[in-house]
Amino acid sequence: MKPVSAERALSRITALLGAEACLVKQDARAPYEHGPRYGAGTALCVARPADVASAAELMRLCAADRISLVPQGANTGLVAAASPDNSGLQVILSMERLKGVIDIDPVDGVIQAWAGTRLSELNQALEPHGLCFPIDLGADPSVGGMLAANTGGARLIRYGDVRHNTLGLQALLMEPAGELLDLNNRLRKNNTGPDWKQLFIGSAGSYGIVTQAVLQTHPLPQQTATALIVPNSLPVGLQLLQDAERRFGDFLSAFEGMSRNAMESVLHHLPQVIAPFNPLPPYALLIELSSSAPASAHCNLEHLFMPWLERHLEQGNILDAVVDKPESLWRIRHAISDSIKQEGKIVAFDIAVARSHLPAFRTAAIELVERDFAGAVVCDFGHWGDGGLHFNLVIPPTHAQQFLPARIDALRTAIYDLVVRDYRGSFSAEHGIGPFNQHYYDRYLSTQKQALAARLQPAFDPYYLLGNTRFS
């Protein structure tokens, strides 16, 4: 069967959804066609259904006419999975109007929400109940987007990723087209066969479009203790991480790393931020303890934290430390991404290795850049608690002509080869798979895994009409 013409497809979609829910003009489509970092194409239109029934009808129409759909939440992803290609024939299916909290159950500790609901809206609704959904990010993604990418964040060491905090979901299928698969439940224990909801988490909308989810919540922290420390060395930093886990247990909620170059960029572009150290060290670690129990004589995190810091200062494991209000120290960490963008072109790597390999990998990666790609400036930060590293490189304007697309591609491949082949790590730790990094999925995933995907993806989407990510 041949796809219908663009004009007929547009006419049918507009008739189905109404003109207000089908954005056709270029200026109206533009915010949906461009991703925040990568991904820029041209869509036939942007479909914005107001309910699940309309979204299901749209999927049936697209399946019948072989029209490709690109699911999109808040459009905050960083691998172009929610961006259309350049054909002008794909329809962006925006879930932004399917939003709102359906239910909060403080007894079960869950929130049920539509896919278009933003992370900030979840937490605003949960706060009066003393609860939160503790995925800590620089962006404000939607529920559907967080599931599609299996979002992690800075506090994964304590709370896990989105997969770990999803109890149930509903999804619209492309086969049979428009059928609603109900996998919603609030059970923490349910061992009755395969956990089918996991197929829709971290798969970029390729198996179906999530319409709502039941998410596990956590009590809001009532007290925190935060310090920015200078480790004697990066291997010593790992020893401090192990000791902190032994000493503080579940109180340890973040263990983040920041390089000197990253901190310098923040101080340069945000002069109101006070330098934590003078001079800045080569590397610093941000450690956070938190508890949902209020501070008391029997449970005071600052009283627990200070002796630990003092002991390691005396032993020389920590060379310097700043204890301050959490928001002051976290401001430095959260400002890194926006600050380094102002330094030049960013070549970003969202990677992960085993925690035990972090110091050796970082040293090897910096040596590789200095040897083979001189002029690129390493401005990295990372989640030491879970092995994640945002190994970001800045290409200053003065070196732009030395880093044309072919050389940047060579740089990416060199770093990813180091991650995957030398350190058995991941080339996409948090951001998922999309057109931006599809090439590396094809390069590094084993033939066995790709063969399994080749059998699975067509079962859910036989004509490959959902999105631009291909797992086979």
Task: Please name the residues in contact with 133: beta carbons below 8 A apart, sequence gap of 6 or more.
Answer: 111, 119, 122, 123, 126, 165, 215, 217, 218
Report pLDDT for 2: 61
Report pLDDT for 287: 98
> In the chain, what is the straight-line distance between the N-terminal and C-terminal CA atoms, in Å?
23
Note whether 400 and 407 are within 8 A (CB).
no
CA distance 52 to 99: 11
Closest Cα to residue 111, out of 60, 153, 166, 164?
166
CA distance 343 to 398: 11
Note whether 390 and 348 are within 8 A (CB).
yes
- What angle, rounded to 10 degrees, do the helices at 358-372 and 234-248 form? 150
Report pLDDT for 1: 61
Report pLDDT for 297: 83
On whether the 101-219 domain is CATH 3.30.390.30, my answer is: no
On whether the 6-94 domain is CATH 3.30.43.10, my answer is: yes
> Which two three-digit tokens encode residue 263?
């901190």
User: In this structure, which CATH number among 3.40.50.140, 1.10.10.10, 3.30.70.2190, 3.30.300.30 belongs to the domain 223-336?
Assistant: 3.30.70.2190
Cis peptide before 279 (omega within 30 of 0): yes
Task: Please name the residues in contact with 424: beta carbons below 8 A apart, sequence gap of 6 or more.
Answer: 353, 354
% of the chain residues with pLDDT over 90: 93
Report pLDDT for 324: 87
Note whether 17 and 60 are within 8 A (CB).
no
On whether the 343-440 domain is CATH 3.30.465.10, my answer is: no
- Alpha-carbon dihedral of residues 374, 429, 68, 29, nearest 10 degrees? -70
101-219 and 343-440: same fold?
Answer: no
Residue ranges of domains in the chain: 6-94, 101-219, 223-336, 343-440
pTM of the model: 0.94
Give average pLDDT by consecutive 10-residue segment, the chain, 472 residues.
78 93 96 90 97 97 96 93 95 97 97 98 98 92 96 93 97 97 94 95 96 98 97 98 97 98 96 94 98 92 97 98 92 94 96 98 98 98 96 97 97 98 97 94 95 92 95 84
**Exposure pattern of 210-229 as b/e (b: 16+ CB <10 Å)?**
bbbbbbbbbeebebbbbbbb
